[in-house]
């Protein structure tokens, strides 16, 4: 009986440590949509560093993982959400609405989308990673990014659900920075700005 309790205790401790790492240090989420093509393709996985924005703010060009429906409520809430998410994944369900997008505008930036192009603070930005044209989709430009928020777009602009529909993304909605593609193994590479 003692061996069984030790085994169960070891499994529970390992699970608790894994959930801590997954909720606060790193994760390997799967790309679920084609809104980041050609940078990331549906079915690929990325290495997400969750702790990075505890030390620095998001920068223009960062590829981020965000929750489009809710903001972080702190360590305990993030931990509980990660446990629930993991249990749902084991059951074959997708529970949270994670999106992977590129930061285009940071606080104070004035953004204009015109003629299929994006202008930041009056200058056309060079975006070699973009697939398709960038269109306003009903938003009136120019807009200015408020403090504590970012403006994000998918790289596949004509099919992306992003700030044009969701509005500005609060820092508390950002879960982490996607730094590398790690699956499939023969296509591992750093994600460039």
Range of the domain at 63: 2-190
For the entire predicted model, the pTM comes to 0.82
Residue 119: predicted pLDDT:
97
**How far, in Å, CA of 70 to CA of 32, rounded?**
18
Question: Taking every pair of C-alpha atoms in the chain, what is the biggest distance, in angstroms?
Answer: 71
**HSE, side-chain direction, 13 A CA sphere, residue 3:** 0
CATH of the domain at 43: 2.10.109.10
Residue with tokens 């750093």: 190
From first to last of its 193 residues, what are the pLDDT tens digits of the chain?
Answer: 888 888 888 888 887 777 776 667 788 888 988 999 989 999 999 999 998 998 999 999 999 999 877 655 555 666 666 666 666 666 666 655 789 999 999 999 999 999 999 999 999 999 999 999 999 988 899 999 999 999 999 999 999 999 999 999 999 999 999 999 999 989 999 998 7
Residue 23: predicted pLDDT:
65
List of residues 6+ apart from 22 with CB closer than 8 A: 82, 86
Q: Which helix (H) or strand (E) holds 151?
A: strand 149-153
Q: Retrieve residue 71's tokens.
A: 């903001």
Number of structural domains (the chain) is: 1
List of residues 6+ apart from 49 with CB closer than 8 A: 25, 26, 176, 177, 179
**How far, in Å, CA of 116 to CA of 131, rounded?**
11
């Amino acid at each position: 009986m003692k061996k069984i309790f030790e085994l169960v205790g070891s499994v529970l401790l390992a699970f608790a440590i894994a959930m801590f790492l997954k909720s606060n240090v790193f994760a390997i989420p799967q790309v679920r949509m084609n809104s980041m093509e050609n940078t990331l393709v549906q079915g690929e996985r990325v290495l997400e560093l969750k702790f990075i924005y505890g030390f620095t703010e998001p920068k223009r060009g960062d590829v981020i993982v965000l929750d489009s429906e809710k903001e972080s409520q702190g360590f305990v809430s993030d931990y509980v959400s990660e446990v629930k998410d993991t249990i749902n994944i084991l059951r074959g369900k997708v529970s949270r609405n994670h999106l992977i997008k590129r930061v285009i505008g940071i606080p104070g930036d004035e953004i204009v989308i015109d003629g299929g192009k994006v202008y930041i603070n009056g200058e056309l930005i060079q975006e070699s990673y973009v697939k398709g044209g960038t269109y306003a989709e009903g938003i009136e430009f120019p807009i200015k990014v408020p403090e504590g928020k970012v403006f994000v777009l998918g790289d596949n602009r004509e099919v992306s659900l992003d700030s044009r529909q969701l509005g500005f993304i609060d820092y508390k909605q950002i879960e982490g920075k996607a730094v590398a593609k790690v699956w499939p193994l023969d296509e591992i590479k750093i994600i460039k700005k």
